[in-house]
Amino acid sequence: MLTCDSYLSPLTLDDAFDAIASATDEFRLVAGATDILPWAREGRAGDVHIPTLIDIAGIPELRERSFREGRVRLGAATPFQRFLDDPMLREAMPSLDCCAIWFADDQIRESATIGGNIVNASPAGDGIPPLLALDADVELASRRNGAIVRRRMPLSEFLKGPGRTELQPNEILVAVEADALPDHGGAFEKVGHRRSLVISVACVAAVVRLDTSRSRFEDVRIGIGGVGPVAIRYHEAENILRGKPIAAECIEKAAQTAGTLVQSRSRQAYRRGVLEGFVVRALLEAAKDAGGDPHALVPTLEEGYA
């Protein structure tokens, strides 16, 4: 059970920093709170009391979405549901709509935020591999001498390990910025211990652009999660595939080393096999989404990894 003495809902960043400064005891920032509530229940954390909860989901800046110079800027309190019901986001951020379908259910998607998914820093955080594939940066804000100061860094550098990030005390993740890739196709593959509301044992996001003939990979981006302490970009496979034909030999060669990325201490053999198959399937699905001919996309390979 989760309890608190004070629940604050600031409407500006300054208000949020005022709330942080006025907290005389332990405090916690929340937005959707979809991670903290399951954690604070009997059998996991037991009864949890946090003196002050500061809900930043109502700050307008943290819910804004904008496009500029080939990049998408998302306020950190953007709910996962927006990746399904905002046509501009669906077009610009391939694989995140596929990810959102897998992400819990309608009610949780409306509350769970992209910033919370990042700050939680779970190795199995579903939203992180697609963002890594889109070369995402994070924007962090703090207040010094009465002025709000911001800094940016790549998402790949922000994540340090399970539950660990570069977020400093009294600092807030305010936005995520990523490449806008409307000319790419995307796919997301995931498996877990159960069929619904599932935490990833392994997941793969693939983002692909084809050449004008629709028979070669012009750009390939792959993010992988659930198999190590942090989600990662699979640069080795990307480099193998760029400029290559959509052929079984090329795709299987790119996927062959996926098993070496598994660092989890449990179910290693299972994860290695699943991960290789997921890379193949995600690449084929992303190629279809990018306009590739389904009948020409290595049907025998597709059958083998169905």
Q: Which tens digits make up the pLDDT trace of 239-270? A: 999 999 999 899 999 998 888 888 876 678 88
Query: Which pLDDT band holds residue 197 (cuts at 50, 70, 90)?
Result: low
Sketch the domain layout of the chain as residue ranges: 2-55, 61-179, 185-304
In this prediction, residues 172-186 reach a mean pLDDT of 98
* Average model confidence (pLDDT) across the chain: 90
Residue 186 clears pLDDT 70, i.e. is over it: yes
Quote the pLDDT of residue 303. 62
Beta bridge partners of 263: none
Query: Which pLDDT band holds residue 195 (cuts at 50, 70, 90)?
Result: very low
Quote the pLDDT of residue 202. 86
Quote the pLDDT of residue 90. 96
- Report the SS3 class of residue 189: strand
Quote the pLDDT of residue 17. 97
3-state per-residue secondary structure call for 205-246: EEEEEECCCCCEEEEEEEEEECCCCCCEECHHHHHHHCCCEC
Q: What is the CATH number of domain 61-179?
A: 3.30.465.10
Query: Which pLDDT band holds residue 277 (cuts at 50, 70, 90)?
Result: very high
Quote the pLDDT of residue 302. 61
CA distances from 267 to 24, 221, 276 (A): 44, 26, 15
Residue 118 clears pLDDT 90, i.e. is over it: yes
In this prediction, residues 172-185 reach a mean pLDDT of 98
Tell me the whole-structure pTM to 2 decimals: 0.92
Quote the pLDDT of residue 192. 63
Query: Which pLDDT band holds residue 41 (cuts at 50, 70, 90)?
Result: low
In this prediction, residues 13-27 reach a mean pLDDT of 93
**Cβ partners under 8 Å of residue 169, min gap 6:** none
According to CATH, the topology of domain 185-304 is Enolase-like; domain 1 (3.30.390)
Q: In this structure, which amino acid lies at residue 182?
A: P
